[in-house]
Amino acid sequence: MKDVDLKFSDGLIPVIVQDVENEEVLMMAYMNEEALKRTLDTGKAHYWSRSRGKLWLKGEESGNFQSVREIRVDCDGDTILLKVKQIGGACHKGYRSCFYRRMNGDIVSEKVFDPSKVYRGEN
């Protein structure tokens, strides 16, 4: 399934998700072994939702799927970097990236979709 030994902590590994087209950091999420396996098998990003305690195909409700183009692993084998083609936006607040604001609260991005129209309960 994989050649680099990955270190899961409490069954999870953090995943940085980056837009393969413009290099924007879109979000951070977590995978368990099963989420990683499904990601590798399908080419679509799957995560483990810590808040909902369940496996999660990104975009399953919103349609905002992430097609995985490249997977990198860090030097310690305890973080994954996923380069994806992002459909729509990654953020459940309607922005393309979850990092749409600065520390001081300034919003530095435009919304790309209306969350109330694409989510019934996901996120």
**Binds a second copy by CB under 8 A, chosen from 61, 100, 111, 122:** 100
CA 10/CA 32 separation, integer angstroms: 9
**Binds a second copy by CB under 8 A, chosen from 54, 102, 117, 120:** 102
**Binds a second copy by CB under 8 A, chosen from 10, 76, 110, 114:** 76
Between residues 81 and 87, which has the closer beta carbon with respect to a second copy? 81
Tokens found for residue 25:
């950091």
Query: Helix or strand or coil: residue 44?
Result: strand
Is 122 an interacting residue with respect to a second copy (CB under 8 A)? Answer: no
Chain positions 3 to 62 lying near a second copy, rule: CB under 8 A, are 3-4, 14, 16, 18, 22-25, 27-28
**Binds a second copy by CB under 8 A, chosen from 37, 69, 92, 111:** 92
CA 100/CA 89 separation, integer angstroms: 11
**Binds a second copy by CB under 8 A, chosen from 61, 67, 99, 112:** 99
Count the neighbouring beta carbons within 10 Å of the beta carbon of residue 83.
18
Task: Report DSSP state, residue 5.
Answer: P
Is 121 an interacting residue with respect to a second copy (CB under 8 A)? Answer: no
CA 43/CA 4 separation, integer angstroms: 18
29 Cβ partners below 8 Å, 6+ apart? 14, 15, 17, 45, 47, 48, 58
Interface positions with a second copy (CB under 8 A): 2-4, 14, 16, 18, 22-25, 27-28, 70-76, 79, 81, 91-93, 95, 98-105, 108
